[in-house]
Amino acid sequence: MSSPLQRDPASFRDPSGYVLWHEGQVLRVVSPTYADDYEALVASGLLDVLWRKDWLVAHTEEPGAIPGAEGAYRVLRPRRVPFVSYPYEWCFGQLQDAALLTLAIQKEALQRGLTLKDAAATNVQFVDGRPLFIDTLSFERLQPGRPWAAYRQFCQHFLAPLVLMSTVDGRLGRLLGEYVDGVPLDLGARLAPLRTRLRPGLAIHLHLHARMQSSASAADAGRLARQRGIALRGLLGLIDSLSATVSSLAWRPARSAWGDYAATADHYSSVAAAHKAEAVARFLGAVRPGTVWDLGANTGAYSRLASQNGALTVAMDSDVAAVEANYRQCRREREIHLLPLVIDLTNPSAGLGWRNAERRALLARGPADVALALALVHHLAIGNNLPFEEVAAFLGDVCRWLIIEFVPKSDPKVLEMLAGRRDVFDGHTQALFEEAFSRRFAVKERVPIRETERVLYLMEAKDPCSD
């Protein structure tokens, strides 16, 4: 008989335990080898401190043995993260907040005789609009005198990409998809502008640190063995210095990028914009979704029609400046149901890491109850030469219900897109759009948007995706 338990394919590196899936719930199995550290963690009071601050995922201990997890020291049932995102999908502000949370937790741990043994960015997830540390087994007892084992990992996962995003280009966070254990420090140091060498924190934690990676040799082991050890204040000083360095980084998106959003908003007359928003809200009210993916969400104006009614809404856009603006608004207004992410729909996140299974593909994280595809189709069909059938097939894979806006060739935005190129889009008509989509969806309602030639549709997927 096969066990209903499935081991999470991303959970294998840390021998302290592993993650199991049991009837749609997550279980964290604590190995006997981690028993002493686990008891020290419980006795330290750190869990309560971190839970009170909402920094660490809450869990309960399973009272009895779990069939299939025999031999476990403990089995924990943590709160489930409703939507898992990855660092290469985060904007600058999200990665910075995750970095500062990791450091704040390490500081609390050090003061209670514990330390983080790893500092991977994937230990953090965004839940209720804020970063949350999810790896409860990352703590171990602090061995007096020992350096921080996760220092290099922290600098690779957080510091190097943040420096590059801040000083070179906000899009460089995408490097974290290429390098799943963080941006190699020598690469980060090479790509960072010269002026970063003049900032003490970056000179030490990035440039000198990178240099020591390549220059440290086996011969340095002798020096290492002779060291007397690092005092607790040295470790706290290291965390304080990293926090100050990370906090000092800032990213201001190019002025033109911000300007473009205002221009987009101005593109509609106020009557058209209000009518579109009212129709989208009405469609959402009819479906009452639990999860919504807003595809091409820009700064999330329409995403909020869903999130403000309690639907967990993932606002995806390939423009990092738009996602940054959206995230800042979420934090400022303490929005708990909205998660902005950097996603390029023409190349959505693939399965990455070991056996392509450590980081899940975007499509494996769906389907959403509703997908919003507003002012999107012309970008895919004309901007990216995707036939309507392809767009319909993709959308049919990601949602159960679809709210989609058809934008005809006569629309000023499309005319703008076609201005500099040959028009090879004879098939871009409303009739052919409906024909292509009717293979995957049943059209429930169509609403022509006032003062435009655009049409908004509510469609239901014909072949509902299974959970």
Partner 1 sequence: MVSTVLWLILAQAAADHLLGRSYVDPGMGSQLIQFLIAGGVGLAFIIKLQWHRIRAIAQRLFRRSPDLHE
Q: Tokens 């703590």 belong to which residue?
A: 139
SS3 421: coil
- For residue 124, the minimal CB distance to partner 1 (Å) is 16
- For residue 16, the minimal CB distance to partner 1 (Å) is 8
Q: Which residues, 6+ apart, have CB-to-CB distance to 363 below 8 Å?
A: 348, 397, 398
- For residue 92, the minimal CB distance to partner 1 (Å) is 24
- For residue 301, the minimal CB distance to partner 1 (Å) is 42
Q: How far apart are CA 210 and CA 203, in angstroms?
A: 10
Residues that bind partner 1 (CB under 8 A): 13-16, 117-118, 140, 143, 145-153, 155, 204, 208-209, 211-225, 227, 230-231, 233-238, 240-241
- For residue 116, the minimal CB distance to partner 1 (Å) is 10
Nearer to partner 1, 38 or 251 (CB): 38
Nearer to partner 1, 239 or 312 (CB): 239
Q: How far apart are CA 301 and CA 287, in angstroms?
A: 19
Nearer to partner 1, 202 or 449 (CB): 202
Nearer to partner 1, 229 or 310 (CB): 229
- For residue 246, the minimal CB distance to partner 1 (Å) is 14
Nearer to partner 1, 25 or 143 (CB): 143
Report how far Cα 261 is from the mean position of its chain's Cα atoms: 22
Whether residue 4 is preceded by a cis peptide bond, meaning omega within 30 degrees of 0, is: no
Which phi and psi (to 5°) does residue 458 adopt? -110, 120
Nearer to partner 1, 212 or 250 (CB): 212
- For residue 219, the minimal CB distance to partner 1 (Å) is 6
Nearer to partner 1, 65 or 231 (CB): 231
Q: How far apart are CA 273 and CA 435, in angstroms?
A: 27
- CB of 425 within 8 A of CB of 414? no
SS3 24: coil
3-state DSSP of 71-91: CCCEEEEECCCCCCCCHHHCC
Q: How far apart are CA 207 and CA 312, in angstroms?
A: 41
Nearer to partner 1, 144 or 290 (CB): 144
Which phi and psi (to 5°) does residue 46 adopt? -65, -40
Q: How far apart are CA 270 and CA 257, in angstroms?
A: 22
- For residue 143, the minimal CB distance to partner 1 (Å) is 5
Give the closest residue to 250 by CA, choosing from 166, 163, 159. Answer: 166
